[in-house]
Chains A and B, each alone.
Chain A
Amino acid sequence: MSNESHTFDRSVIAEIHRAANTGIYRIRGFGAKRKLPTLDELVFLGASMSRYPLEGYREACGTDVVIGEGRAERPVRLDIPITIAGMSFGSLSAQAKEALGRGANAAGTSTTTGDGGMTAEEREHSSTLVYQYLPSRYGMNPDDLRKADAIEVVVGQGAKPGGGGMLLGQKITERVGKMRTLPEGIDQRSACRHPDWTGPDDLEIKIIELREITGWQVPVYVKVGAARPYYDTALAVKAGADAIVVDGMQGGTAATQDVFIEHVGIPTIAAIPEAVRALKELGVHREVKLIAAGGIRTGADVGKAIALGADAVSIGTAALIAIGDQNPALEAEYQALGTSAGSWEDYQAGTDPAGITTQDPALAGRLDPVIAGRRLANYLQVLTLEVQTLARANGKSHVHNLEPEDLAALTVEAAAMAKVPLAGTNWIPGVTG
């Protein structure tokens, strides 16, 4: 019998040794890895005597989403309720950005820029491109803003609500440094607060400015890390957002402190119902769109997020995996880096053997953007087919007709967080007793 300590297990001891050797906190990519409550703890009930299903392979089941209708001259029209989350050129290779664009185009959805501005290549390869407006304003310029199909004001992200971006020196190449007006090779630690507004009253004025500069053409999203989603959503609505992106703590990152990734924010399953509660109380549910993000992997996740009240989801980590991250075929190279396919998390290091989270031309050149784009398109198609199958089985002719009543929770905790009944009961902790 092992006498290993539960409190000080081998991973804890290894981290203490690492910290004692280096004097710096652990920085890594990917997202939260510890066991967290997920959407897996919910199930769909399906049709029954009182609910009539649609034919799974034939009958129409809509998946389209329109964002910004009524306020923007050119609303964003997506064929599927799954978008590609903001990831920068810099954190990702140009080939990876191109692959995301190609895959999203084929599936009829949008991609998003990141902390570092818009590259000509990503504009060219993305039919619908959302331009992130971040605290750092790296590479921010009005010409690119006017080229965007939507603007996403980033207040925070799920991996690090309250923290700014990070890109370590090995990825600040000459081109990346120039785009961000930073010296080559520095460890970039982006601002965590916007430089010219604080709070929702200011944000309301900022959104008016953004709309004025872009002629009220495109929708404005507000993205928040899942911290206080009820209040953040209400305040974003008040500020005039067309869409709120709520990124749960499972959301990934190119680089940040491990302590941040694992210990700040709340899980996606807990965040969505709170955001929906705010939208409903304000009478704007399904009008101001809710995009849920953070740990979305399957069509079941997509369907459950929508049933809880989201209009769409956003994927980042899953999209990177689809284009080739964590590829078992690269196992020998992962092993050489001291890790393995499935455990690779050093996005910050720039040594990605898959050529995705790197600025090394030789590594990046390994990723064929056409093939990788097709892989993403296929993956998005599978998610869409899966969510349609689930929606039809619940009798819904559009995925947006899914509702909390279609769900049950497998654990008391999930019931409390998602505010749906514990399976086999009418009990929603905190709501019905």
Chain B
Amino acid sequence: MNPGSESTILDMEITTLRELNAALHEADSGDFVVRNPRGAHAVAAGINSPVAVTVEGSVGYYCAGMHQVGRVLVHGNASTGLAENIMSGEVRITGSATMSAGATGHGGLLVIEGNSGARCGISMKGVDIVVGGNVGHMSAFMAQAGSLVVLGDAADDLGDSIYEAQVFVRGDVASLGADCIEKEVRPEHIEIVTGLLAASSMQADPADFRRYGSARQLYNFHVDDIDAEVAAR
């Protein structure tokens, strides 16, 4: 919230989703409070200005989808695709998220104070994601860029087919997916984790995290050429 400013109340008991999002899209700035979301989908999707939105309650699919510039804080839980394709700005929830949180995000910061379900950070393309609890299976699947910081544990197949994204996990990793390996933690990585913990106001010792990333063995097809080898003999 912006200190000292008046908030606009948008009560979903009397405000439709279309009216809610239209109001947020039309605003150049300002603080908004969304009441009674009651699991509605696409709440605060498509924000593209420096507004600050506080959602009082749990939301459905695609909350803060394709988010840009502004800030969204959800006091509750979120269903599938929280902040999917986030470009910039910040999205934070105090509870837990189900599947595909931060999917394909290109930038910005997503903070999940609780746990995140399967495929957290799937195909992420530059977003930074900090999860206070655990992440579900196949998190960071095909992740291309950005950092996923997990203060708890990671379920099976972490980082399957990962590209250049980086994954930092403090707790246990059930198993790594295809082409994902544990990597050395160097000072620049400690710096990344330190910065993201500070940005997300999460408390943890950056030195406790292990780093995972791509072995880069799947980047190109392996093409044999026996004929050329035989001809060269």
Contacts and interface: CB of A to CB of B under 8 A. Distances in A.
B191 to A, nearest CB: 22
Main secondary structure of the interface of A (DSSP, over half): loop
A168 B61 CA distance: 34
A23 B122 CA distance: 30
Contacts of A195: 84, 100, 103-104, 119, 122-123, 141
Interface string A206-218: 1011001111100
A213 B164 contact: no
Given A21-B226, A187-B220, A213-B45, A182 B84 contact: no
B21 interface: yes
Question: A21, A205, A212, A215 — which one has the most chain B CB atoms within 10 A of its CB?
Answer: A212
B184 to A, nearest CB: 20
Given A137-B104, A196-B80, A196-B100, A209 B224 contact: no
A181 interface: yes
B122 A205 contact: no
Contacts of B219: 183, 186-187
| Size range of the chain B interface in the assembly | 35 or more
Interface string B219-233: 111111111000000
Given A181-B126, A205-B61, A23 B46 contact: no
Interface stretch (B5-13, B62-70, B129-137, B192-200): B62-70
Nearest to B68: A142
Given A22-B225, A195-B103, A213-B45, A141 B60 contact: no
A24 interface: yes
B65 A209 contact: yes
A398 to B, nearest CB: 35
B34 interface: no
A169 B216 CA distance: 14
Contacts of B125: 137, 181
Contacts of A120: none
A205 B60 contact: yes
Given A21-B225, A196-B103, A197-B81, A205 B220 contact: no
Interface in A191-250: 191, 195-197, 202, 205-206, 208-209, 212-216
| Size range of the chain A interface in the assembly | 20 to 34
B87 interface: yes
B155 interface: no
Contacts of B226: 20-21
Contacts, number: 113
B104 A209 contact: no
B69 to A, nearest CB: 11
A187 B218 CA distance: 9
A241 B171 CA distance: 43
A95 interface: no
B25 interface: yes
A140 B85 contact: yes
A195 B41 CA distance: 17
A136 interface: yes
A22 B224 CA distance: 4
A145 interface: yes
B18 A182 contact: no
Contacts of B17: 208, 212
Contacts of A205: 41-42, 60-62
A63 to B, nearest CB: 35
Nearest to B230: A21
A196 B42 CA distance: 13
Given A22-B225, A137-B104, A142 B66 contact: yes
Interface of A: 20-24, 136-137, 140-143, 145, 168-169, 181-183, 185-187, 191, 195-197, 202, 205-206, 208-209, 212-216
Given A185-B220, A186-B219, 16 more contacts: A22-B225, A23-B223, A24-B224, A137-B85, A169-B220, A183-B163, A183-B164, A186-B163, A187-B220, A195-B141, A205-B42, A205-B62, A206-B62, A209-B61, A213-B66, A215-B25
The 4 closest A-B pairs by CB, nearest first: A213-B46, A196-B81, A137-B104, A142-B66
8 contacts: A136-B123, A137-B85, A140-B104, A140-B106, A141-B66, A183-B163, A195-B141, A206-B61
